Amino acid sequence: MKIKALRVFDALYLACIWVAGGAIFLMSVIIPWGVFARYVLGTGSQWPEPIAILLMVVFTFVGAAASYRAGAHIAVTMLTDRLPPYLRRPGIWLVDALMGVVCLFMLVWGGKLCLETMNQGLAELPWLPVGWTYLPVPLGGLLTLFFVLEKMWLGSQQDRAVVRFDHEVDASTQGS
């Protein structure tokens, strides 16, 4: 069961990486188009800026979930790494519990924000309800919560091959 769970979390992690990477890629295409349209063609488009902002929000919240699983988020280990060894485990548990609380806050209140603004429209993108633009907040909270629960249940996964695909991996950690 542990191996199946890890495979599911690995797939979720890879999905987060691809979504966050796709958002950055699209943003890096849309912003130059907006500049080109405004200064070269002389016809400023209204849509590039709000779409780029939405993609940055997607990148931020979905990328933060992946970053948490990879152990790359500086705020997660900064304090616990400096604790004495006998306090490190309870400190890590406390950080995980507090991260879970933050994730639940994002999930609940972000979800309410989405629902309450679903009938509002953006001036630049009248076809897009405002509630959809806030969706990365509760989604990022849910994804991070999954990774927090994984860490509490299965331990840190920051040394797994799927997370460290671009580094040399110790043969003893590849199979787990």
- Around 119, how many Cα atoms within 13 Å sit in the side-chain half-sphere? 1
Read off the pTM: 0.83
Domain positions in the chain are 2-174
pLDDT of residue 45: 80
pLDDT of residue 95: 87
To 5 degrees, how large is the angle CA 158–CA 111–CA 15?
35
Question: Cα(10)–Cα(48) distance, rounded to whole angstroms?
Answer: 33
pLDDT of residue 3: 87
pLDDT of residue 136: 96
To 5 degrees, how large is the angle CA 156–CA 162–CA 21?
105
What is the chain's pLDDT, residue by residue, as a tens digit (176 residues)?
888 988 999 999 999 999 999 999 999 999 999 888 888 888 878 888 899 999 999 999 999 999 999 888 766 677 888 899 999 989 989 989 999 999 999 999 999 999 999 999 888 888 889 999 999 999 999 999 999 999 999 888 877 878 776 555 455 545 54
Say which residue the tokens 């992946």 belong to: 66
49 in Cβ contact with 32 (< 8 Å): no
128 in Cβ contact with 55 (< 8 Å): no
pLDDT of residue 168: 55
